[in-house]
Homo-oligomer: A and B are copies of this chain.
Amino acid sequence: MTSANFRRLEKDYPWIANPLIASAPMLNIATAKLAVAVSSARGIGFIAGGYDLSGLEQQLIEAQDLVHEANFHGSHLQHSLSEPPILPVGVGFLNWGASLEIALPLIQKYRPCAVWLFAPKTGADDLLPWVQVMRSKVPYHIKIWVQLCCLEDAVEYTEKLQPDVLVVQGNDAGGHGFARSASIVTLIPEVLDQLESRKSSLTLNVGKPFVVAAGGISDGRGLAAAMILGADGCAMGTRFLASPEAQIAKGYRNEILRASDGGVSTVRSTVYDKVRGIYGWPTKYDGRGLINRSYEDIMNQEVTEEENRRLYEVEKLKGDDGWGPQGRMTTYAGTGVGLIRDVMPAAQIVTKTRCDAMQNLQKQLHPAKL
């Protein structure tokens, strides 16, 4: 069951279980609490560094404390080393805004196990300094994860950056990604075929890259399907919004539990950034969220952008009532939102998804006679 790819990753992440499940570094939501809970269940949790990194050090301190407190699979972390142990969580950066100068000393000090790079202003060349610095100025083997939304970036990132992990994100994902994109159904096989055919020119060290699928995976069925498509593991975002560890307003979480028919009830748009005054995302990106008045009013040309933004600020004052189809608060969610019906501790989400995925694979080959 365990692939060579997994065994290679396991050398540096001795606490992980197969198949790997990561929690996505969702801005403002993926805090130390969520990340450590995910890693404690033998996944890899990511703290959102975001684009300004203002809260990152506080989160890293908290993660350190939580790891110390927890009855962690942390025996794994310390058994071989006289050096300080690494922190078994990663940090995600939005590279169109994040500063390497701010990030580096924090990484050196708190030793997260991975960086997850996403959305550079132009392309791989913007990420290259990050990769070079991580590999030369960080005194342990920090693994480099890069997230991408299309084949062209997968090839370019692999050639220029030789990352440890490719996070291949499909169109179903909540939050930001390419406005125009395929789901993981076609993107993962196409990425793998292309990398395989270019293997010699890519000077890949060994085997195929470790591929983490993202976008629409909400349970063990999604993870198992991703593995069949060629992925080694998955990252989930929306599913963790319904965990007590996520830092999320009650109004937002209630929407995640309520919404169904995710392909119809969500939409990809830039409006959910604009109402919050966020204009830094490169033009290829937008974000998938539940449809609400911020979106409808702009689509129906009932408000100007400026008025829409003002109405958003007013809506904030309503607290949890600002969410919902008649509300205006940004409610990023993937098309898998309809599969999420209960709040569940993050660690349990990880364990259950992993277990269900394996059972789904077994069941296909040996179905119960109904």
Q: Give A contacts to B, CB under 8 Å.
A: 1-5, 149-152, 170-172, 178, 180-187, 189-190, 193-194, 207, 215-219, 221-222, 224-230, 260-264, 267, 334-336, 338-339, 360-362, 364-367, 369-370
Please state if B150 and A263 are interface contacts (CB–CB under 8 Å): yes
Please state if B184 and A185 are interface contacts (CB–CB under 8 Å): yes
Known: A151-B261, A151-B338, A190-B339. A183 touches B216 (CB 8 A): yes
CA distance A190 to B366 in the complex (A): 23
Known: A178-B264, A183-B216, A186-B334. A1 touches B365 (CB 8 A): yes
Please state if A221 and B228 are interface contacts (CB–CB under 8 Å): yes
User: Which chain B residue lies CB-closest to A3?
Assistant: B367
Please state if B190 and A152 are interface contacts (CB–CB under 8 Å): no
Known: A3-B367, A263-B180, A264-B180. A185 touches B207 (CB 8 A): no
Q: Which of B5, B172, B361, B370 contacts A185 (CB 8 A)?
A: B172
Residue of A3, A182, A221, A267 with most partner-chain B CB within 10 A: A182
The 8 closest A-B pairs by CB, nearest first: A182-B263, A183-B183, A182-B335, A4-B370, A185-B216, A151-B261, A181-B263, A225-B225
CA distance A262 to B188 in the complex (A): 11
CB neighbours (8 Å) of A366 from chain B are: 1
Please state if B335 and A183 are interface contacts (CB–CB under 8 Å): yes
A-B residue pairs in contact (CB < 8 Å), sample of 6: A151-B263, A171-B172, A178-B264, A193-B339, A225-B225, A227-B364
Please state if A152 and B364 are interface contacts (CB–CB under 8 Å): no
CB neighbours (8 Å) of A215 from chain B are: 185
A177 CB to nearest chain B CB (Å): 10
CA distance A109 to B218 in the complex (A): 48
A235 CB to nearest chain B CB (Å): 14
